[in-house]
Amino acid sequence: MQVTDLFSKFDPLIAIRKEMLSHGGRDPFAVVMEKVLSPTKAIIKGKPVILLGTYNYMGMTFDPDVIAAGEKALKEFGAGTTGSRVLNGTYQGHKACEEALKDYYGMEHAMVFSTGYQANLGMISTLAGKGEYVIIDADSHASIYDGCRLGNAEIIRFRHNSPEDLDRRLARLPKEAGKLVVLEGVYSMLGDIAPLAEMVAIAKKHDALILDDEAHGMGFFGKNGRGVFEELGLEGQIDFIVGTFSKSVGTVGGFCVSNHPQFEVLRLVCRPYVFTASLPPSVVATAEASIRKLQKANDKREHLWKNSRRLHSGLKEMGFNLGTETAQSAIIAVILPDQEQAVAMWQNLLELGLYVNLARPPATPAGMFLLRCSLCAEHSDDDVTEILAMFKKAGQATGVLAA
């Protein structure tokens, strides 16, 4: 009897990668940042590059106050907690970070998780159980899909950003059953934002609770940088806001904030919160310092929007096919027809001194190949000019743009 090779299911992927690398190109998924000079500059293969493929939207990674807070906590509290939040792993820094989140969002409760991925895993799998429903957008982030898999609720998908489809699907469910609608403020592959006002109204009409993942909206949407829901005037209407420290906050970690009166019980029943070690003291200290500064970062927010609009209109004028008609967020996605052109453009840009993210199926919707550009508030006007010039050069060299 022949025993199945557990790795044989990966053969198609191994073949695709082989083909991609067979032209002597670099591996887009094995880039090493040899040095990081600032939120927007790094050294890759000995060469300086402008970073246009990070989630460092607000440029907080090198903020002197953030670094000082981390250094102090590292010295005073050590390198790690070696334990769960519910046992020995809650330090005063975790509570201070939760206080900063409550102030930032103006909400009663905040729970810090070890990553944003775990925040979605935990919230979704714990809130909705057997006989209940989670209703998600078809283009939801992997952490939302995985949260659904970890739980026992029934999962219903609706068409991406379609309030009508959400309404139709909710109407088919038993009226008395518990329901959780999961939305995202910004969808990270194409950088498009959700019609949250319509969706929230529909979810409420059907008595569903609402969870909104603002991973890519925190920092620069809304007067206080709370996210797309704030920008759209939906404060007080969303039951759970999930977010991450790995984007605008500039470190690592995840959270959920809420005004739900029973929220604190989740600390005892949410497995991805209980059964993992808490964040190191230095990390929660950097997060707290960063969140407090982001509250007052209006100049940075404005500059980030200016950068995003300039890059979007510049690329559009050159003739690139973009994920959105206008700049809806700080993510500008350049759509390429196939893997070959996407890899060629990616490589050409890197050689010219620009790093962007290459995204391919299954991470992307509708089998798309994307060069995902994400701007930072620390990109200067000259950086954006240089970035546009590099896109033009790479586009012409690869034949994506007419010469």
Residues of this chain that bind ligand PMP (CB under 6 A): 115-117, 120, 141, 143, 184, 188, 213, 215-216, 244, 246, 254
For residues 227 and 281, which CB has a smaller minimum distance to ligand PMP in the complex?
227
Least distance (Å) between residue 330 CB and ligand PMP: 13
CB 179, CB 170: distance < 8 Å = yes
Secondary structure letter of residue 139 according to DSSP? T
Q: Cα–Cα distance between 173 and 154 in angstroms, integer?
A: 11
Q: 74 vs 78, 121, 158, 255, 285, CA distance in Å?
A: 5, 28, 45, 21, 9
CB atoms within 10 A of CB 353: 15
For residues 354 and 359, which CB has a smaller minimum distance to ligand PMP in the complex?
359
Query: What are 200's two structure tokens?
Result: 């929230």
Q: Please identify which of the residues 109, 141, 179, 216 carries the catalytic annotation.
A: 216
For residues 25 and 195, which CB has a smaller minimum distance to ligand PMP in the complex?
195
Length of the chain: 403
Q: What is the largest CA-CA distance in the chain?
A: 68
Least distance (Å) between residue 344 CB and ligand PMP: 26
Least distance (Å) between residue 182 CB and ligand PMP: 10
Active site residue 23: no
Q: Please identify which of the residues 247, 303, 312, 379 carries the catalytic annotation.
A: 247
Q: Please identify which of the residues 125, 143, 188, 248 carries the catalytic annotation.
A: 188
Comparing every residue's Cβ against ligand PMP, the nearest one is 116
CB 317, CB 355: distance < 8 Å = no
Angle between helices 381-398 and 298-318 (to 10 degrees): 20
Active site residue 216: yes
Least distance (Å) between residue 358 CB and ligand PMP: 15
Q: Cα–Cα distance between 68 and 380 in angstroms, integer?
A: 25
Query: What are 370's two structure tokens?
Result: 């994307």
Q: 82 vs 71, 89, 282, CA distance in Å?
A: 19, 7, 13
For residues 40 and 188, which CB has a smaller minimum distance to ligand PMP in the complex?
188
Residue 277: strand, helix, or coil: strand
Least distance (Å) between residue 246 CB and ligand PMP: 4
In the chain, the amino acid numbered 182 is V
Residue 112: strand, helix, or coil: strand
Helices (H), 249-334: 266-269, 271-274, 281-294, 298-318
Residue 93: strand, helix, or coil: helix
Least distance (Å) between residue 141 CB and ligand PMP: 4
CB atoms within 10 A of CB 366: 10
In the chain, the amino acid numbered 360 is R
CB 89, CB 277: distance < 8 Å = yes
Least distance (Å) between residue 56 CB and ligand PMP: 12
Determine how β-strand 209-213 pairs with β-strand 357-359. unpaired
Active site residue 247: yes
For residues 112 and 336, which CB has a smaller minimum distance to ligand PMP in the complex?
112
For residues 146 and 383, which CB has a smaller minimum distance to ligand PMP in the complex?
146
Least distance (Å) between residue 341 CB and ligand PMP: 25
For residues 153 and 189, which CB has a smaller minimum distance to ligand PMP in the complex?
189
For residues 90 and 374, which CB has a smaller minimum distance to ligand PMP in the complex?
374
Which residue, 143, 182, 187, is CA-closest to 331? 187
Catalytic residues: 188, 216, 247
